[in-house]
Chains A and B, each alone.
Chain A
Amino acid sequence: MAAHVPSPSASRAAVDASEPRPAQQTYRKHSPLSRPNPLWGVAAWAVGLVFAIPVLWMLLTSFHSEVDAATNPPSLLAPLTLDGYKSFFGNANAFPSLINSATASVVSTLLVLALAIPAAYALSIRPVKKWSDVLFFLLSTRFLPIVAALLPLYLFAVRTGSLDQIGLLIALYTTMNLPIAIWMMRSFLAEVPVEMLEAAQLDGAGLIRTLRSVVAPVAMPGIAATALICFIFSWQELLLARTLTGVVAGTAPVFLTSFVTSQGLFLAQVCAAAVVVSLPVLAAGFAAQDKLVQGLSLGAVK
C-alpha cells in the first residue's frame, strides 16, 4: 500500500539533514501531528480507564462476598474473598464446560489450519485461475447469518444423534473460521517475495524445501495470528453452542447463560464466572495485540 511512498524514517532523516533548525528537531522526532503535550497523555489515560472500569469492576466484585457485592453505594474497600470462585468451581457443570470450550476451540483451530494453509498456498504462491473469485466466494459465506442455517443443522443433529456432542460443534466452528483464516493466510503468504521463490527454484530446491526454508519463515507469524483469532472466535461463540449442545457438550458461554435470570444474590459468583471464562481470551489477546490488529483486518490492511 505504501510502496510508492518513501519510508517515513528515510524522509525524516533527509529533512533533518537538509535543514538544521534545532527548534523543530524535538518536534520532528515524534509522529507528525504529536506535540509532546502532557495533557493528551492525561486524556488518553482517562479514556483508557473509563473503558477498563467495567472489567476492573467485574474483577473486584468477583473477589467480594455476595453481601458486599450487592451494596449501594458500592463498597470499594470491602474485604476480599475467594468465595465467588469457590462456588463457581463448586458447580458440577462449570469445569466440564471449560473443558468442552477448550476442546472445541483447540481442535477446530487445528482443523482450520490444516485446511487453510494448503488453500492459502493455492490462492497466493501458486495461484489457481480466478483466485480472487474463490476468495470472494469464501468471504461471502461468512456474511450469511448463522441463524439462517440453524434449523437444518438442528434437524440434522437430531436425526443423526449428534445433538449435544462436541464433534458437531468442532465441525461448525471449523466452517465458521475457515473463510477468515484463508483470507488472512493468503495475504500473509502473498508477502513471500516472488524473487525468493524463483531463486529457490533456480537453485534446484524442491517444493518441500522451498516451503520449509523460504515460505515458512515469512508465514509463521501470520499462521500464529490466524490461530489466535480462530481460537478467540470459537471460545466466544454462543448461538450454535446453545442450540446444538446441552448438558454433556455445553461450552463455557452456554454455562454462563445459566446466570441470565439470576437475581441479586449471586453477583459475586456471576462476576467470578465471567472472569474465569474470559481469562483465556484476555490472556491470548493481551499477549498478541499487534497480531490481533492484522488478523481482525483480515490481513487486508497493513
Chain B
Amino acid sequence: MSVDETTARQRTVLQSPAPQQQRTASRRAGWVRRAPLMPALVFVVVMTQLPFLATIVISFMDWQALRPNERGFAGLGNYAQVFTDAGLRSSVITTIVLTVVVVAVSLVLGLLIALLLDRKFFGRGAVRTLMIAPFLVVPVAAALLWKHAILNPSYGLINGTLTWVWGLFGARPPQIAWLTEFPLLSIELALIWQWTPFMMLILLAGLQSRPADAFEAAKMDGASPLQAFRYITLPHLRRYIELGATLGAIYIVQNFDAVFTMTSGALGTANLPYTIYQTFFVRQDYGLAAAQGVIVVIGTIIVATFALRSVSSLLKEDS
C-alpha cells in the first residue's frame, strides 16, 4: 500500500500545473482516480444491498402469497416464529454439522493428498488431472451421479461392488439403502468428494511455494521428516489452510444443490438454504422466509467476521 500510494501521490504532484490550482486539481484528480471504480461499485451496491434491504422490510410483514388480503405489519412475529420453530432449529444444526464435517474432512484429506502430489513420481500431472475432476463436475450433475449411479440401493456402484466382492466368497452381500439409512452421511460423502480436490489444489500451491533453504537447514540440523513437517511446512501452510477453510465454509453453508437433489431435504437433511427455499416456494409464507433469510445473514456475518480477519492478514502481507 505504502509504495503504491507514495508513487501515486508523487504522480499527482507532478501532474499539478501550479500551486494555486493545486486544490481544485487534486480534487479533480481524486474523481478521475475514482471514476473507473464507480460503475462496478454502484452496480454491486444496487444489486446486493437493495434486495437485502427489501428482505429486511418484508421480514417484519405478514405476507402469505396464498392470502394476499391479509398483508400487513407483523412486528417481530416472524422472528418469534423462526425461533420457536423446531424445524428451523434442526435445519440450523444440520447446516452447522454439514459445514463443519465437510470442511474438516476435506481439509485433512486435501492436505494428505497434496503432500503426496508434492513428491515427484511418474505421471504426476495425470494424477492431478484425475484428482480435480470431482471439483469441475457441475454440482447438480455430481449430486445426481451420487444419488442414482453410486448410492442407489439396487444397482448403485457401491452396493454393486459389495455384491461382486461378497460373490467371490459365495456369500450374500450386505445391501445398504444409503440415502434413507444414512441421509446426511450420503450428502457429506458427495460434498467431501467434491471439495477435497479444491482444498488439495490450494494446499498444493502452498507446498510448492515453500522456501527450500529452510529445509536444507533443518535437515542439516538433523530434523526428521515429521519434525520438518511440524515446524516448517505446517506454519508455512497456515494461511493456505485458513483460506481453504474460509472459502469452503462460505460455499458449503450456502449449499442448495446437493440437499435439493439427493434427499429434497427429507430425513433431517434440510439445511438453511433449503428450508428458506421451502418456506418461500411451498408454504409461500414470504414474511417468514424473509425473517429466516435475515437470520441466516446474521449467522453468516458472525462466521464471516472470523473469515475476513484471516483474509485480512493475507491482504496485509500482500501489500
B34 / chain A contacts, CB cutoff of 8 Å: 122, 128
Produce 1/0 per residue, A28-41, CB < 8 A to B: 00111110101011
Knowing A1-B209, A145-B300, A293-B202 touch, does A256 contact B315 (C-beta < 8 A)? no
Please state if B211 and A8 are interface contacts (CB–CB under 8 Å).
yes
B136 / chain A contacts, CB cutoff of 8 Å: 232, 278, 281-282, 285-286
Please report the total number of A residues contacting B with Cβ < 8 Å.
123
- Taking the closest CB of chain A, its distance from the CB of B214, in whole angstroms, is 8
Asked if A300 lies at the interface with its beta carbon under 8 angstroms from chain B, I say yes
Knowing A40-B116, A122-B35, A128-B33 touch, does A52 contact B289 (C-beta < 8 A)? no
Please state if B155 and A72 are interface contacts (CB–CB under 8 Å).
yes
Knowing A71-B160, A118-B36, A297-B205 touch, does A239 contact B44 (C-beta < 8 A)? no
Interface residues of B in 21-72 (CB under 8 A from A): 30, 33-37, 39-41, 43-44, 47-52, 54-55, 58
Interface residues of B in 148-162 (CB under 8 A from A): 148-150, 152, 154-155, 157, 159-161
Select the residue from B137, B225, B296, B300 with max chain A CB neighbours within 10 A: B137
Please state if B280 and A151 are interface contacts (CB–CB under 8 Å).
yes
A140 / chain B contacts, CB cutoff of 8 Å: 304, 308
Asked if B297 lies at the interface with its beta carbon under 8 angstroms from chain A, I say yes
A294 and B243 alpha carbons, distance in the complex (Å): 12
Point out the residue from A2, A71, A285 that lies within 8 Å of B155, measured CB to CB: A71
A295 and B192 alpha carbons, distance in the complex (Å): 21
Please state if A134 and B37 are interface contacts (CB–CB under 8 Å).
yes
Asked if A92 lies at the interface with its beta carbon under 8 angstroms from chain B, I say no
B119 / chain A contacts, CB cutoff of 8 Å: 30-31, 33-34, 40-41, 44
User: 7 tightest A-B contacts by CB?
Assistant: A41-B121, A118-B36, A32-B215, A148-B293, A152-B54, A274-B141, A8-B212
Give 21 pairs: A residue, B residue, CB < 8 Å, sorted on A.
A8-B213, A33-B228, A36-B121, A45-B121, A47-B113, A51-B130, A54-B142, A122-B34, A147-B254, A149-B52, A151-B289, A152-B58, A179-B44, A190-B4, A253-B141, A257-B140, A273-B144, A275-B141, A285-B132, A285-B135, A292-B132
Extra inter-chain contacts (15) besides given A54-B142, A58-B137, A145-B300, CB under 8 Å: A11-B212, A31-B208, A41-B119, A44-B127, A58-B141, A58-B145, A122-B34, A123-B37, A126-B33, A147-B256, A182-B40, A260-B261, A274-B137, A293-B201, A297-B205
